[in-house]
Amino acid sequence: MKKIAALAAALLTAAALLGGCAARTAVSPEEFQKKAEGLSYTVQAQTPTEVGAEKTLSAAKKDSDAQVSFTVFDTAAHAAGSYSALRKSMPSKGGQAVDSDAYNKFTVTNGEIYYVLIRMDNTVLNCTDSVSKQKETDDLVSALKY
């Protein structure tokens, strides 16, 4: 009986410790702006044009080719639709994709252009940059934990 109690205690402890490794969560527009500006991007609000889009922010970096769009949708389904449409417009040869119910990521390089497209829950992050400045885009994605 003591072995079972010890095993149960160990499992509960492991569950509590690993609970901090939860799934990723989407950032808010305010969090996006704070992280982007912290990496020297200039962030501006844009008029949302896509179906279900509630808020769109664009970010650009001086002396860089980086162009970023962050959109919050009213539902994850609308975000998934936007992700799908944007992905179809990108070159696919040599691209890498990660797809799940709540998260999609597609990266591809085409000539001198580096593309990153990410959907997390009801948000879409769409980035383009020159291959030579790819690290700037990757740093933003990492800062957002996307």
Domain that holds residue 71: 25-144
Non-local CB neighbours of 112 within 8 Å, separated by 6+ positions: 130, 131, 132
> Does 6 fall in a domain?
no
Q: What DSSP character marks residue 133? A: G
Task: Look up residue 43 and give its two tokens.
Answer: 């962030």
Q: Which of 7-16, 46-55, 110-119 has the lowest mean pLDDT?
A: 7-16
Which CATH number goes with the domain that contains 41? 3.40.1000.20
Three-class SS state of 44: strand
> Which pTM value belongs to this model?
0.83
> Does 82 fall in a domain?
yes
81-133, pLDDT tens digit by residue? 999 999 999 998 999 999 998 999 999 999 999 999 999 999 999 999 999 99
> Does 8 fall in a domain?
no
Non-local CB neighbours of 56 within 8 Å, separated by 6+ positions: 45, 46, 47, 48, 49, 50, 69, 70, 71, 72
Q: How far apart are CA 94 and CA 12, in angstroms?
A: 44
Residue 23: what pLDDT? 67
